[in-house]
C-alpha cells in the first residue's frame, strides 16, 4: 500500500473522499472583519499591520474559519446552499511568553448549510478522529513492520474527546420563567464559573445587591417605573449636567438599561429549585451513556425546550455510536465545557492527546451558526473543525518513541 507524502496530505485526501472541496484563502486578511468576529483576545495574538500607503489594516490569518467563510461568500454560486470546504495551511499567532511557534500548520474543514444538523456534527467529530488516524498511518505502518505483534487498530494515541453543548443550557433557561435579559446574562457568563454563580446568586435574591454610584438614579426610577419616566429621567440628567450623547449609545439604550435595573427590584427572584436545576446541569460530566440518562431526567423535570434539546443530544449520540464505534467510548460530555471562541453557538468538541507528558488540544471545533450572516451573508448554519498539526505530530511521535 502506498501512503501519501505528508500527514496533512493524507488528511486532505480523507476530507476530499468525504466530499469536501479544498480551498486556499489568502494568508493576508482584512484585520477589521477578523477582529470584529473574534474579539480582542484573538487580536492580542494576531499579527496586524497596515499596507504601505498606511490605509488598509491587514492581518496574517490567525485561523482559517473566517477566511473560509469570506471565501465562500465571495466565490460560491449560491452562498445559501450547502457547501463543504477543507484546507491545509499556515496560521499565525503571537505568543509573548511561550516558545510556541508563531506560525504553524492547521488542517481543517468547514461545512455550511448541512441538511441534517446532528448527523453533520457527529460526522465532523468522526472526521477529526479519523484525521488523527490518517496522520498516523505512515508511522503505524513502520511500527507494524518493526513489531508485528503490536495490534492497535483503533486510534494510535490515547485520545480524549470532550464535548459540550451550550444549546442544553439555553433550553433549560428557556424553560425557566425569567426576563430574557437574565437568560442572556447567564449564557454570556457560562464559561466563567465564578461570575456565573455570582449572577445566579444575585438573580435568586441571595445576598444583598451591591450599591453602586448609579444606585440613587435607580432608586428614583424604581419608585415610578415605566419607559416614559426612564427616558425623562435620563434626559433630565443629561440636561442638568450638560452632557452630550457620546460613546455610540442612544438615549433609549441607556434609559432601557436603567429601567431594567429599576424593574429588577420588583421582579420575583429565581426560585431555589430553579437555581438547583441550573447548577445540576453544570455538574453533569460523564461518558455518553450516563450523560444521556442524567440529562434526560433533568429535561423531564425542566420542560419542553429541554426535552427537545435532549432529543437532539440523544440523536447525536446515536450518530456517534454509528460513526465512531468503540471510539465513542472515549467521549466525555461536560456541560461546563466551552470553546475559547465566542462565536460558537451550540455543539463544541475538543480532542486532546498527551504531548510530552501533558494533555494538549490537537483538534477542536463546533457549530457557529451566526457567522455567515454577521459577515453580510445568508443566515445559514455552519460548523467546522481544525487540527493543530505540529501538536498532533508531536503526540504521534511521542507515542512511537514510547512504544
Partner 1 sequence: MTNSANNPPLVLGVPSKGRLMDKAVALLAEAGLELVRTGHARGYRGELRGLKAAPVLEVAYLSASEIARHLREGRIAAGVTGEDLLLETMPDVDAVAARRIALGFGHADVVVAVPQCWLDCARMADLEEIAAEHHARHGRLMRVATKYLRLTRTFFAEHGVTAYRTTRSAGATEGAPAAGLAELIVDITSSGETLRANHLKVLDDGTILRSQAMLALHNATAETDAMQELAERVQSTTTIVQQQAAQEGS
- Contact residues toward partner 1 (CB under 8 A) are 35-36, 39-41, 43-44, 96-97, 184-185, 188-189, 192, 195, 212-215, 217, 234, 237-238, 241, 243-249, 253-255, 257-258, 261, 342, 374
Least distance in angstroms from the C-beta of 127 to partner 1: 29
Of 43 and 397, nearer to partner 1 (C-beta) is 43
Least distance in angstroms from the C-beta of 217 to partner 1: 6
Of 36 and 279, nearer to partner 1 (C-beta) is 36
Of 204 and 280, nearer to partner 1 (C-beta) is 204
Least distance in angstroms from the C-beta of 338 to partner 1: 12
Of 261 and 319, nearer to partner 1 (C-beta) is 261
Of 163 and 234, nearer to partner 1 (C-beta) is 234
Least distance in angstroms from the C-beta of 312 to partner 1: 24
Of 146 and 184, nearer to partner 1 (C-beta) is 184
Least distance in angstroms from the C-beta of 255 to partner 1: 8
Which three cell numbers mark 339?
470553546
Of 168 and 255, nearer to partner 1 (C-beta) is 255
Question: Residue 21 forms beta bridges with which residues?
Answer: 85
- Residues 81 and 111 sit within 8 Å (Cβ to Cβ): no
Of 98 and 145, nearer to partner 1 (C-beta) is 98
Of 116 and 206, nearer to partner 1 (C-beta) is 206
C-alpha 117/C-alpha 335 separation (Å) is 20
Backbone angles phi, psi at 383, to 5 degrees: -150, 165
Place of cell 450599591: 211
5 alpha-carbon distance from chain centroid? 32
Least distance in angstroms from the C-beta of 192 to partner 1: 5
Least distance in angstroms from the C-beta of 245 to partner 1: 5
Of 19 and 376, nearer to partner 1 (C-beta) is 376
Least distance in angstroms from the C-beta of 86 to partner 1: 28
In angstroms, the Cα distances linking 146 to 47, 60, 139 are: 44, 42, 11
Which three cell numbers mark 46?
494576531
C-alpha 107/C-alpha 125 separation (Å) is 14
Least distance in angstroms from the C-beta of 63 to partner 1: 17
Using the Cα atoms of residue 135, residue 26, residue 71 and residue 54 in order, give the sign of their dihedral.
positive
Least distance in angstroms from the C-beta of 345 to partner 1: 13
Amino acid at each position: 500500500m502506498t501512503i501519501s507524502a505528508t500527514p496533512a496530505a493524507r488528511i486532505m485526501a480523507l476530507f476530499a473522499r468525504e466530499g469536501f472541496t479544498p480551498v486556499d484563502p489568502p494568508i493576508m486578511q482584512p484585520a477589521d472583519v477578523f477582529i470584529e468576529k473574534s474579539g480582542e483576545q484573538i487580536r492580542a495574538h494576531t499579527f496586524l499591520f497596515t499596507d504601505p500607503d498606511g490605509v488598509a489594516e491587514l492581518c496574517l490569518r490567525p485561523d482559517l474559519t473566517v477566511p473560509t467563510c469570506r471565501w465562500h461568500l465571495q466565490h460560491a454560486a449560491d452562498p445559501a446552499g450547502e457547501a463543504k470546504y477543507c484546507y491545509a495551511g499556515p496560521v499565525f499567532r503571537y505568543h509573548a511568553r511561550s516558545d510556541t511557534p508563531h506560525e504553524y500548520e492547521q488542517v481543517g474543514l468547514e461545512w455550511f448549510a448541512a441538511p441534517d444538523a446532528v448527523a453533520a456534527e457527529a460526522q465532523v467529530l468522526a472526521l477529526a478522529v479519523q484525521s488523527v488516524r490518517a496522520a498516523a498511518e505512515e508511522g503505524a505502518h513502520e511500527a507494524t513492520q518493526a513489531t508485528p505483534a503490536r495490534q492497535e487498530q483503533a486510534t494510535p494515541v490515547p485520545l480524549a474527546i470532550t464535548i459540550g453543548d451550550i444549546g442544553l443550557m439555553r433550553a433549560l433557561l428557556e424553560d425557566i420563567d425569567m426576563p430574557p435579559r437574565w437568560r442572556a446574562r447567564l449564557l454570556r457568563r457560562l464559561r466563567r464559573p465564578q461570575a456565573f454563580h455570582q449572577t445566579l446568586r444575585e438573580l435568586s435574591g441571595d445576598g444583598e445587591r451591591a450599591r453602586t454610584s448609579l444606585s440613587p438614579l435607580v432608586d428614583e426610577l424604581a419608585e415610578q417605573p415605566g419607559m416614559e419616566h426612564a427616558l425623562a429621567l435620563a434626559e433630565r440628567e443629561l440636561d442638568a449636567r450638560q452632557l452630550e450623547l457620546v460613546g455610540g449609545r442612544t438615549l433609549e439604550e441607556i434609559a432601557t438599561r436603567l429601567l431594567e435595573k429599576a424593574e429588577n427590584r420588583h421582579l420575583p427572584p429565581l426560585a431555589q429549585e430553579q437555581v438547583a436545576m441550573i447548577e445540576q446541569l453544570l455538574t453533569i460530566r460523564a461518558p455518553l451513556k450516563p450523560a444521556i440518562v442524567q440529562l434526560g431526567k433533568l429535561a423531564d423535570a425542566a420542560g419542553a425546550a429541554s426535552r427537545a434539546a435532549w432529543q437532539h443530544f440523544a440523536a447525536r449520540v446515536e450518530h456517534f455510536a454509528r460513526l465512531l464505534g468503540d471510539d465513542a467510548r472515549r467521549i466525555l460530555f461536560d456541560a461546563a465545557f466551552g470553546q475559547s471562541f465566542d462565536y460558537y453557538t451550540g455543539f463544541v468538541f475538543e480532542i486532546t492527546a498527551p504531548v510530552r507528558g501533558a494533555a494538549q488540544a490537537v483538534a477542536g471545533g463546533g457549530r457557529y451558526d451566526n457567522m455567515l450572516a454577521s459577515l453580510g451573508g445568508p443566515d445559514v448554519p455552519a460548523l467546522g473543525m481544525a487540527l493543530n498539526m505540529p501538536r498532533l505530530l508531536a503526540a504521534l511521535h511521542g507515542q512511537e518513541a514510547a512504544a
